[in-house]
Structure 1
């Protein structure tokens, strides 16, 4: 850390700007303080969105779950956009600052819908199912607030992690930062899902959303107050542009006869890119090799590329091939996360129809049920890191590989869906036995075991994915490799929305009153999908060959620390 600070101090001394750009651990309180504030704000409105839509805007239960899935998916897509914009145009600091302001504006709009009667429909008549529909203005204000808050959330969460890591030069310090970062993220989200959601359910939405506004302001203020300490990197351009050039160049030269001479291929002046010797091009996906093959007019007299979209370096071509090789494995993760998206939305509806009392005086908010997954994941991560991995290493002589961890996550996910089906089957029997009363005489605690299993599964497959992508992705893409997880989650939430829509159209399993439906059949369907997807994963894992075997154990451990 001292060396890092010394290095950054030298950079600061040579800088013409006033202030410091020092970096190092002095920036940690500001970045994690911002994370706490922004996470409390986001968790406060997002985790209880289904209940808010049902109670305040009279949205039907399944529709509310669908909206929540779309919002969760969008919030997971936006970090990819934020990362590309930060790398290519504005830098992490600007993206975080602007996104924090956007999220604040969105939450203020949501708070206004809770405070002003004119911005939400009148309450339903007691004892009647007829409710006043929302007006065009009310819908516009509501969804504008949700959209702004989602964009702001997407632009801050993963970009904050990237900016925090950029404050350090040594990998050891970066790994330590990620460890504390994700611990802060999990614990703060758990607080948001319990404390703020409890306030919303008991003191009112205006108080809950008002608290979200306050925490967002505090998070933004803490982040900006550390400006003079940050090592603010200038955007260097997105590595995705280089990969896109490979595809374009290969297409433009598709009729070119491939040469067998290595001198005919462009190696980037000296054959070295970011410390890696390019060597020769591999024979897999040979059609892409044309992108690096030189023809007349491609190279200037000084050795630079004359037409960037017609010629790529050999390393860029190999990087592109690596992405193609890993895509099948990545696709299995999408279908691994999709059932979790269905479960996370349906579990809230299940909890709403169950006895949520814990003891004689405390009633658990339905939106807080999902916190069990967070707690289970956090605890499991600690046990895996401190107990399971050392024992595994003693027994086998090596750490579990990323593919093994992901595979175990697949199995636990399937078991979680099977247990969900069994619990829901029991809940439906009790609902019918009690003449379909709105609240079934069954404790919501019955939902905990399936959520614990889902959390343990996440503790295996999410760190496994981070380790795999960080280990296998090109060096130029390592800074964005962890964002692939966010992309997977986003796609999975959209797919879960599509699954629910399809089930509604084809079957009668998901009416608006789930007590009249067959949600257990939906879970059994997800079990079948999970088993098939696991089989597909085993085939992909069997055929996949690690590209960076020497660094596998090191990177795997680092990824676990980051998670």
Structure 2
């Protein structure tokens, strides 16, 4: 087949079709002529963000990625979250009733395990960004997750491995049986550590940043990703909790194990469609190199940005990363990119512990800029943690009846948080974003920081709603002397507004965080960015526990019952909610200052 290209020089060439149906172009007959396809024809075939397919070849735009690959990733996340919440939602009761632990011990063990689940993503993120890539990390840790879930199921169902029970709630576990249970749980914690930071980033990798249409779809992906989490959580907190309470714990853990196995199958099913970013080497090594090189040259004066060292190639020297434009803040670290004669090694190579590229320096700056934004997420996570602690205790003192015979457990009210998320995600994606886009001209309607700020504001309203409800409830208790009633005659459904507001805040802040940390983390550190956003959940839980400890110690002096006694009818939980509201207001003010100061990263060029 013959074709020609007309330009300053016109020549003819022949091309053949490869096995994949794409043209193979030979080198031009005239070496002096720079051979280029007209109008970037090659660019239109392949992605421009450096992604490759499962064989390691450049990813073909029309055959890989975008929404054609996402169902497998979203299916994986749905099943994994179904497994996680199906196991964790009722875990405290399993510890208490089947491992025969005291309430405080069971609660502490669950908190420690959940905290571990949100810290281990740092391990998975490092391995994904540095060595394995996101696909291999998700695959390996998913298999470990299934193994842990299987072991947990066996520990709750096989005679000799499961605790010996006299009755439903009267069981005794040997040390070996408890150890087996905890071994399984911490294998799961390690498994989820490799999945959590990578799945959202891997889904976003399926959309090319260099293509404006795909870039818009990437923002939409994060919304539907979070929706899949909550649909899985909704089924887990309703159906699976019922199975655990009314059928058996063997089935209660077995169904999540099956769901996780389905998650693995779903993920592997899309292998041929995925776009993969190449791992860029250890991000911590690159960060340390910049710091060491900067301190070595602390006496060197920083010249203009144009005089700073950068590779001459169009692509960055860091695998999987675009070049980053120089910024003027944190000028001290620019010293690492000041080139001296002593920096050159034999054969023109460069010692990165003495001389770093501008892109490498900007990687460190990008991480430093992210940290203040990351810190503001901790207070929000502390507010969010109330749905599984004080909101439950508050609801436990209210009337749980639906009709004369049915009672809804206080913990089940969290279903309204999930329903809120399921409601707000499509509303945000299909209504709010298009309307906002008309007024702002921004491709996503509003910026990620604006989205997060709106969520922080809504979380304040949630705390005020909870505080006012408790204030009204306690007034009724005092007025009618309901102090010793297990359930006072005020419907538990008065809690729905605070759960609904928390769910709305999640859609803005948590999803905004996911997208923001993915977009603003350096290209070769995106899993690490996602892991950072997840650690706010762990630290938020720890902050809430710390506040409760401090408040209890201060409010129980002199023999007083304190703000949070065992019988909340004698307490002042609304003070704690008001405290969180005040902290959230201060946090929002700090966020506004940080958002105004923040500089978005400026990548240069593409990776193809």
TM range (shorter): 0.7 to 0.9
Give the Cα–Cα distance (whole angstroms) in 2 for the partners of residues 332 and 217 of structure 1.
36
Deviations 1:111-154 (A, max 9, x none): 3454358754867999xxxx998764454334333322222223
Cα displacement (A) at 1:212: 1.5
- For residue 411 of structure 1, the aligned residue among 453, 457, 462 is 457
Deviates more, 1:49-58 or 1:482-491: 49-58
Paired residues for 1:301-380 under 5 Å: 301-305=346-350, 307-360=351-404, 362-380=406-424
User: Is the contact made by 1:416 and 1:451 (CA closer than 8 Å) also made in structure 2?
Assistant: yes
Give the Cα–Cα distance (whole angstroms) in 2 for the partners of residues 287 and 443 of structure 1.
60
Partner of 1:452 in structure 2?
500
Structure (1 or 2) with the larger CA radius of gyration: 2
User: Is the contact made by 1:73 and 1:492 (CA closer than 8 Å) also made in structure 2?
Assistant: no
User: Is the contact made by 1:106 and 1:146 (CA closer than 8 Å) also made in structure 2?
Assistant: yes
Deviates more, 1:382-391 or 1:147-156: 382-391
- Inter-CA distance 217–465: structure 2 relative to 1 (3 Å threshold): closer
Please state if 1:293 is matched with 2:338: yes
Cα displacement (A) at 1:287: 1.7
- Inter-CA distance 180–414: structure 2 relative to 1 (3 Å threshold): closer
Partner of 1:257 in structure 2?
300
- For residue 512 of structure 2, the aligned residue among 461, 464, 474 is 464
What's the C-alpha RMSD, in Å, of the aligned pairs? Answer: 4.0
- For residue 529 of structure 1, the aligned residue among 567, 583, 587 is 583
Partner of 2:142 in structure 1?
100
User: Is the contact made by 2:163 and 2:177 (CA closer than 8 Å) also made in structure 1?
Assistant: yes
Give the Cα–Cα distance (whole angstroms) in 1 for the partners of residues 473 and 101 of structure 2.
24
Cα displacement (A) at 1:533: 1.8
Cα displacement (A) at 1:42: 0.9
User: Is the contact made by 2:142 and 2:191 (CA closer than 8 Å) also made in structure 1?
Assistant: yes
TM-score normalised by length of structure 1: 0.81
- Specify which structure has the higher proportion of helix: 1
Aligned to 1:258, what secondary structure does the other structure show? Answer: coil
Please state if 1:519 is matched with 2:563: no
Partner of 1:402 in structure 2?
448
Count, aligned residues: 537
Give the Cα–Cα distance (whole angstroms) in 2 for the partners of residues 186 and 319 of structure 1.
33
Cα displacement (A) at 1:85: 0.8
- Inter-CA distance 68–395: structure 2 relative to 1 (3 Å threshold): same
- For residue 185 of structure 2, the aligned residue among 107, 124, 146 is 146
Cα displacement (A) at 1:44: 0.1
User: Is the contact made by 2:53 and 2:273 (CA closer than 8 Å) also made in structure 1?
Assistant: no
- Inter-CA distance 443–332: structure 2 relative to 1 (3 Å threshold): same
Partner of 2:595 in structure 1?
541
Deviates more, 1:477-486 or 1:197-206: 477-486
Instruction: List alignment gaps of at least 5 residues for structure 1.
Output: 17-21, 551-563
Partner of 1:422 in structure 2?
468
Give the Cα–Cα distance (whole angstroms) in 1 for the partners of residues 193 and 486 of structure 2.
36
Deviates more, 1:500-509 or 1:313-322: 500-509
Deviates more, 1:360-369 or 1:186-195: 360-369
Partner of 1:45 in structure 2?
87
- Inter-CA distance 497–309: structure 2 relative to 1 (3 Å threshold): farther
User: Is the contact made by 2:400 and 2:492 (CA closer than 8 Å) also made in structure 1?
Assistant: yes
Aligned to 2:563, what secondary structure does the other structure show? Answer: coil
TM-score normalised by length of structure 2: 0.75
Cα displacement (A) at 1:454: 0.9
User: Is the contact made by 1:38 and 1:219 (CA closer than 8 Å) also made in structure 2?
Assistant: yes
Deviations 1:481-530 (A, max 9, x none): 44432122222222223223333444333345555544333222212222
User: Is the contact made by 2:54 and 2:275 (CA closer than 8 Å) also made in structure 1?
Assistant: no
User: Is the contact made by 1:56 and 1:120 (CA closer than 8 Å) also made in structure 2?
Assistant: yes
Please state if 1:268 is matched with 2:307: no
Give the Cα–Cα distance (whole angstroms) in 2 for the partners of residues 402 and 167 of structure 1.
20
